Structures are given as structure tokens and as C-alpha cells.
Structure 1
């Protein structure tokens, strides 16, 4: 039953990601792409049902699937790719770079069609580039952007600020001004249409979120509080029959629900407040409740959380890499500040049980903390001499919420695409290097999943995610040393969560 529920959940997530990421760029049916990428999971599930969990899938077959399916997935996308650009034979190298730059425009600026600028407006535009700041050499026109190429003569931040002020003085809010690096590493400016206006037709500023959006956020939060509370009842050891016969039993699920909701809320509020600091338009956090039938409560697997998490929706582009870094790291940092104390308290109120074959990283009744260095250290610190090499942990409901918070933090810190870690690495090292690191991370997770099968779901989800993060408006200016250090420490936290404790440490801790 748990296996089928996991496959259904994975299938839904996979379809959603494929539909959002590649449906617009290829004519290949989404269902076919979904089937190709679900093949490893379906084969593994079928093998487990036929042979049992004690007989592992042959390593050669698993490796073949993980190599062949992504390759076939990429070929199918290329085979059906929508060609919105002129034939390659008609493009020069500069035009190819412009095409890449046009595709890198933030999503908010991709839909409008650029209005042609007149000769006089082009002259005015050229005057926006002072010779001593950015020596403009040529202006190129593309369907979604006006590209201004030249030579940078001062530091990137000062150049962007000067040119942006001049463009705004000349054209108002007609354009977004992007500052990016071409494929050859040379910085260039791009003007793209700004679909936003200062006010809507009714005169209400766009920065103010509609009442309907706030009501939706509150409604989803209350529903998610209920679903997590019901799951908390199961985690606390009560059955569906006890819950239906005595509704007061629902109170037993509150420790788990409130702890988990606090972790998720503060994580998203970290993003929200950082975005507000940079005057970026964003929604309030939206929670995603996971529906279920109360009568099937006893059949719900242990990895069912009562929620699929929470998110905020950015409604304006990121101004620069510093803002991208701060908004990206604020969520995991804020969530971790709450997660660690809750996890330590929950572990201190947990009990130890004998280590068995059923112990693992998805079994809250018998959790083996040794798969994670950070969890090992925290568990030993909280339980002391009770936790030995022959013992596992039966988690208190608050410890379950803290443990989930640790997992959520680790997943969000993965340096892939538009995850928080992807934003952080992109801001630190640039978009191109960030994409390379994202690709390496996905491959390393596949290898790690072969050693720890419970991480297979992570590996598959990461495999579907685009490795390239969307650029900031000023995507050239680099971070200061302090932010680089914080980003490095964030990656250290990620490694300490996902990698097992070394033998030397387990021996030192008597584990």
C-alpha cells in the first residue's frame, strides 16, 4: 500500500513539473515525457512487488535506466521543440547569444511583444549610455528584447545604476533593464517590455495584495492545520476509530501540527520579508494541504505529512544578485533557526528502541539517525547515553516535525535550478556556473540514491527540475565576501544533513 501511494504521489509531482517546465517549448506529448521519466520508478516498483523488498533490483539495470531515460527524455524534447527563431543557418554567433539572452528574461517579461522604437528613440537610448560608464557599440533588435552591446568601463553596479536611471528618465517604466553576461562572458544590457504599471485601472497600487489573495492564504493555512493535526493523531499512536469515537483525540495531533506549521510558516516568511525589504512584489505564503479519507487514516504511510508544503509567488523580477542571494537564503536560514530547537526538544522527549531491519530514515517508530551527520550529533546530544550503537529512536511528534523541517531545509538548499540553493549558488558564482553545479548535483544524487534507496524520490524530482535559474535584472554585479561566506556555510549545512556520519564520529559518540 505504501509503495502504491508513493508511486501515485511521485507521478503527480512528476507530471506537474514536466507540464510547468517543458510543455511550452516542445510539441512532444506531456504524457509521453512523463512515462519516460517515470519508467525507473515504475520498474523499481514492479520489481519490488514481484520479488519483494529483500531482492534488490540489479545494479546494471538501475544504472541503465537512469542513463537511458534522461537521454530519451532530452531527445524527445529536442525532437518536438517549437522553433520560434529563424533557422540556424541564418544566425550569426552574435544572434545565437541574443537568442539565449532573450530566453533568460524573467518570466514576468516574456509574454508582452516589444513595441518598435523609432529612430529618435534609438538616439535617445544611445544617450543613456555615458562613454565613461559603458561604451555602447551597437543596438540589436529581437522579438522580446533590445540588446545593447559594448564595453564596460566601470564597476558593474555603478554602470547598471547609471544606465537604469538614464533609461527610466528617458522612457519611464516602459522597459525593464537587464544587465547580463553573454556566452563569451561579456556584459551587455537588454531592454524588455514592462507589463506592469504603477496602478491598476481602479487606482489600487499593485503592491497591495488583493483581499481575495489574503483570504485564500488564510483558508489554505486553516485547512492545512486540520490535515496536519489529523496526521499528528496517527503519529501520536491513535487510530481512526479512536478519533471518530472521541473528537477530543484531535488535540493529540496539535503538537506535531503546530510544530510543522511553525517551521513551514517561518521558512516562507523568511522569503517574504526578504522580498519586502527589496520592495519586490510577492504573495503571502500559500500552504498546500494533502487530502485524505479519514476512514483510511490507519492505512496512510509514515511519509504522509498532511501537507505538500508551502510557497510564495514572486510577482516582480529580482533586482540584483545580492537580492537573489538574500531572498534565497532567508527561507532556509529562518526555518533552520526554528527547526533545530524543536528537533532537539522533540528528540529529548523521544524514546530509544532496539535497532532492527525495519529501522531507517522513513520510519518514525524506529529512526536510524546515522544516515545524517547533523541528525546523529543532535540525537546523541539530546538522548545522551540512552542512544547506543544498538539503538534507534522512536520519535516524539514534535521530533517528527523537526525532522521533517530538517529534510525540507536540505531539499531546498540543493543547488539546483529555482530551489533556494540554486538561487544561492547562482548569486555567488553566476548563472552559467550555477547551472553546471546543478547538473553535477543531480548526478551525485542519483549515485547517492543507489547507496540509499530512500533518497530515490529526491533524485527523481531533481532530475526533472531545470538546472538554470532565471537571471536577476542586474546579473553581473558580484556578491561581497560576507555573503559568499554565508553561502558556503549553507552548503556545509546541506552536506551535514544528507551525508552519513563518518565512522570516526560514530565511534567517538559510541554509535
Structure 2
């Protein structure tokens, strides 16, 4: 319990610092304390009364409702006052102007001559410029779009680069009034070039390989424990016993590695500077027995357009899914059935209840008549790896903020609609956790993730129909993985 509380505390602090530290004067530690209060209350109850004692509804609902409200009020209280001449803008629009980059240099004001040059970058037949607004981190250029978004962005970007070189990044966004505007933000890569710290600092193969090796060891140990090696010290862990966990480690690393490698290759295809996949090794414990927290990559340059955002976002979940399914089928075929009991659950690998829609279909396909309505499944370690792959795919496809699913809906529907979908998705997962209580922790964590995804440079141009269909397919996968199997389906299967 303390381990999970520590993990949640670190995760929450990083999210709070990244999302609101630059828009409010309220100390980050106070905001962190407010958002962690529900977890502190619930953990305190469990430590005092034991895990078997149910938490009173008042201790669940009151902190869950009041703390987000207090969090929002503290952010508003700490906001710096805006100049009277500045046009009022909601915080989400202000915070989302600058795409994700390594650093955000202070914008050097342009003089009258440069302002005239900037106006010449906007041909009236492409984008009729009406006014320029000066912001601390951007120059906002508003006007009327006269051609397609693709032509407008490429024309104006080329004109700005012709007059100002690589001094600015050109961002094209849709305003709250539905009209697209241009924002010129300082190019953070200028400092990188000036400091001669090129791309070799982005790709660190030594670190990536080292983390990979350590994660293979911790995952192999986890696989050995899943294979039945005692973890209480009653048996000596010899090399042969240790190697019994290798199939689990290989299967899990294949699923997670393929997921992140697909992100990496897609980013490189669009010439985006990105790190190699970094695995996170964790020694297996009773609280977290899987041997790894997963893997991640970091993109160190902006995403050029919504098409690239979509391709990078969807590449990982789909690639991981297409590896996880055959891994899970093989593992299920080598698993055994056990009588269904009160302890059976969707995360009890010794007595898995196949109640989720897609896992139930795959379980029946692999086990056939050996699996009945009164049976649970004792998962083979490889099946555990494949099952975790499905869960990781579902988590990443959740359409909230900077998760892969958030990138997908942002690319499909735009930044504002994507944020609205994220709000609805968080509430739906919370409602689902009332049926599948194992999802409660994930439902809570979703409320710590900002729903507004960072914009691409050209955040106005829409996707083609083919990508829209792939996006709907990806969201359908999410529903099939986490949705409880309807009774009509279970009656047909079992």
C-alpha cells in the first residue's frame, strides 16, 4: 500500500508540475497536497482498519469531489493578472499555444521594420492578416483564412523562414471562436545549435541498452515467481528455476518493446527528434509483481501536423496489440481451467474470470469446450504477459490528454473537441469502475491527467477518411478490451 501511495505521489507531482506550474503562482506542493488528499485519506483508513473493511461512502465521495474543486480554485487564485489591453483568453487556450519542446526561450520583441516584414509574410489571398497581438511567449496573428489550411500553413511558414530564418516556430491553431490563427513562438532548437549540443544528446543507446538488460532480469525474475517459484525464501532460486521465467520476460518485452519501437519509428519517419525506447525495471514485489513499469520514449521536437500526431499516437497501441493477441492465445492454450470462486477476478492470474469482452472471446477461442461458464483460468506466465499487453493497450488508448488515445481523438476531431471527449472518457471510466472495481485506481489517475493535448504546428488541417477509420477501429479496441461481456455473448460462448 505504501509503495502504491509513493508511486501515485510521484506521478501526481510530475503531472501537476508539467500542467499548471507555468500558469499559476500557487506553489506546486500545495496543489500536489490537495490532489493527494483523497489518496491519503483512503490509505489512512485502510492502514487503520485493514483492507477488508469497506471505506465509508462519505470518505470516498467528499474528498473526490471537494479536492478537484479546491485544486481549481487555487489555480485561479494564483493566476497572474493580465494586462488590460490583452484580449481575455481561457487558460486552456493560453497554455496550449506552444507545442512540446525542450525549452521555451523568452520571445525577443520585434521592431517596426520586422513587424512590416511579418505582415508581408501573409498574402491576402492566402490569409488576410487583421492584427498582431504580443504575448510573453508568442506573437498571435489573427485574420481570415482564404485558402485550404495546408496551403496557408506551408505558404506562411516558408515566408516566415525566408524573412526570419529559423528564429520562430510557426503554429497554426483554431481559436475559441472557430477561426484559425497563427502563433509565432521562439525556436528552442536555436539554443541547442548555438551550444553545439546536437542530436547525440537525444539518442543515448548506452542508457537504453542498460535499462533493457536490467528489465529483462527483473521481468525474468517476475516470470519465475509466476511460474510457481516461492517468493518467501523457502526455496533457493537457482539458475534453472530463474530461467523458467524467461518465456514471460521475452513475451512481455516483445509486447512493450514493439509498442514503443513503433512510436519511435513513426516519429523518426516524420523527422521528429526522439529518444530510443527506455524500459523501466522494477524488482517484483507482492504489490507489483510484473518486473517492469513499461517503457517510454520522449519526443524532443514539435509534431508537424495532425496527420503525424495521429500516426505516431496510433502506431504504438496497434503494434503492441498485434503482438499481444498471438502471445495471449498461445499462453491461454497452455493455461488450465480452475473452478470459479469468489476470489476470481479480472486481475487474479491464478483464477482469472474471463468477463471482459475481448479477453473472453480469446479465452474461448484458445480453450474451446474446456472453458465453461463455471470455470476460471489459471494463466500460464506467457498468457499473463499477453493479458498485460491487452490492458496496457487499453490504458494507452484511453482518449485523455497526452495518452495515445488522447493524441488520436485530438488528431481526428481537433484540440477542443478532443479535450471534451477526454472529459467524457474520464467520467465513463469512473462509471465503469463501479461495475469493475479493479479499474477504480485507473479511473482516479485519469483525473490527474490534463485533458488538453499539446498542439501540432499545423493543428488545423484535418485527417483523411482512411485515418479516421483507423482511429475508430482503435477506439473500438479500447471498448472491446475493457467492456464487460454482455450476457447474450456469454450465453453464446459458454
User: What SS does structure 2 have at the residue aligned with 1:313?
Assistant: coil
User: What SS does structure 1 have at the residue aligned with 2:245?
Assistant: helix
The answer on whether the counterparts of 2:96 and 2:452 sit within 8 Å (CA) in structure 1 is no
The answer on whether the counterparts of 2:167 and 2:187 sit within 8 Å (CA) in structure 1 is yes
Counterpart in the other structure of 1:232? 223
CA distance 1:245–1:312, shift in 2 (3 Å): closer
User: What SS does structure 2 have at the residue aligned with 1:107?
Assistant: coil
Alignment equivalent of 2:249, drawn from 257, 264, 283: 257
Pairwise CA RMSD of aligned residues? Answer: 2.3
Counterpart in the other structure of 2:403? 419
CA distance 1:26–1:146, shift in 2 (3 Å): closer
Deviation at 1:25, TM superposition (A): 3.7
Alignment equivalent of 1:484, drawn from 463, 468, 492: 468
User: What SS does structure 1 have at the residue aligned with 2:244?
Assistant: helix
- Counting matched residue pairs gives 493
TM-score, with structure 1 as normaliser: 0.90
CA distance 1:70–1:101, shift in 2 (3 Å): closer
Alignment equivalent of 1:315, drawn from 266, 281, 300: 300
Q: Is 1:188 equivalent to 2:188 in the alignment?
A: no
Residues in 1 aligned to 2:202 and 2:46: alpha-carbon distance in whole angstroms: 49
More deviation, 320-329/102-111:
102-111
Residues in 2 aligned to 1:425 and 1:432: alpha-carbon distance in whole angstroms: 10
More deviation, 242-251/419-428:
242-251
Residues in 2 aligned to 1:458 and 1:106: alpha-carbon distance in whole angstroms: 27
The answer on whether the counterparts of 1:290 and 1:308 sit within 8 Å (CA) in structure 2 is yes
Counterpart in the other structure of 1:270? 262
Give runs of aligned pairs for residues 342-353 of structure 1, distance below 5 A: 342-353=327-338
Deviation at 1:48, TM superposition (A): 4.4
Extract unaligned runs of 5+ from structure 1.
293-299
Q: Is 1:301 equivalent to 2:286 in the alignment?
A: yes
CA distance 1:13–1:99, shift in 2 (3 Å): closer
Counterpart in the other structure of 1:296? none
Q: Is 1:363 equivalent to 2:348 in the alignment?
A: yes
Residues in 2 aligned to 1:48 and 1:61: alpha-carbon distance in whole angstroms: 12
The answer on whether the counterparts of 1:362 and 1:454 sit within 8 Å (CA) in structure 2 is yes
Deviation at 1:23, TM superposition (A): 3.8
Counterpart in the other structure of 2:9? 11
Counterpart in the other structure of 2:274? 282
Give deviations 1:20-77, integer Å, cap 9, x for gaps: 3334444444444334333333444444455555553344553333222222222233
The answer on whether the counterparts of 1:101 and 1:182 sit within 8 Å (CA) in structure 2 is no
The answer on whether the counterparts of 2:140 and 2:183 sit within 8 Å (CA) in structure 1 is yes
CA distance 1:134–1:440, shift in 2 (3 Å): same
Residues in 2 aligned to 1:99 and 1:415: alpha-carbon distance in whole angstroms: 17
Alignment equivalent of 1:41, drawn from 30, 39, 42: 39
Counterpart in the other structure of 1:63? 61
The answer on whether the counterparts of 1:109 and 1:193 sit within 8 Å (CA) in structure 2 is no
Give deviations 1:437-493, integer Å, cap 9, x for gaps: 111111222222222221111011111000100000000111111111111111110
CA distance 1:53–1:386, shift in 2 (3 Å): farther
Counterpart in the other structure of 2:19? 21
Residues in 2 aligned to 1:99 and 1:432: alpha-carbon distance in whole angstroms: 9
Extract unaligned runs of 5+ from structure 2.
none
Give deviations 1:236-266, integer Å, cap 9, x for gaps: 1102447745233210111111111111111
Residues in 1 aligned to 2:202 and 2:182: alpha-carbon distance in whole angstroms: 34
User: What SS does structure 1 have at the residue aligned with 2:107?
Assistant: coil
Deviation at 1:356, TM superposition (A): 0.7
Alignment equivalent of 1:168, drawn from 161, 164, 167: 161
CA distance 1:109–1:273, shift in 2 (3 Å): closer
The answer on whether the counterparts of 1:303 and 1:362 sit within 8 Å (CA) in structure 2 is no
Deviation at 1:18, TM superposition (A): 2.8
Residues in 2 aligned to 1:350 and 1:218: alpha-carbon distance in whole angstroms: 32
Give deviations 1:248-287, integer Å, cap 9, x for gaps: 3210111111111111111001111111111111110111
CA distance 1:252–1:102, shift in 2 (3 Å): closer
Counterpart in the other structure of 2:383? 399
The answer on whether the counterparts of 1:347 and 1:396 sit within 8 Å (CA) in structure 2 is yes
Alignment equivalent of 1:107, drawn from 91, 96, 100: 100
Q: Is 1:338 equivalent to 2:323 in the alignment?
A: yes
The answer on whether the counterparts of 1:264 and 1:405 sit within 8 Å (CA) in structure 2 is yes
More deviation, 186-195/15-24:
15-24
Alignment equivalent of 1:125, drawn from 115, 118, 123: 118
User: What SS does structure 1 have at the residue aligned with 2:101?
Assistant: helix
The answer on whether the counterparts of 1:416 and 1:439 sit within 8 Å (CA) in structure 2 is yes
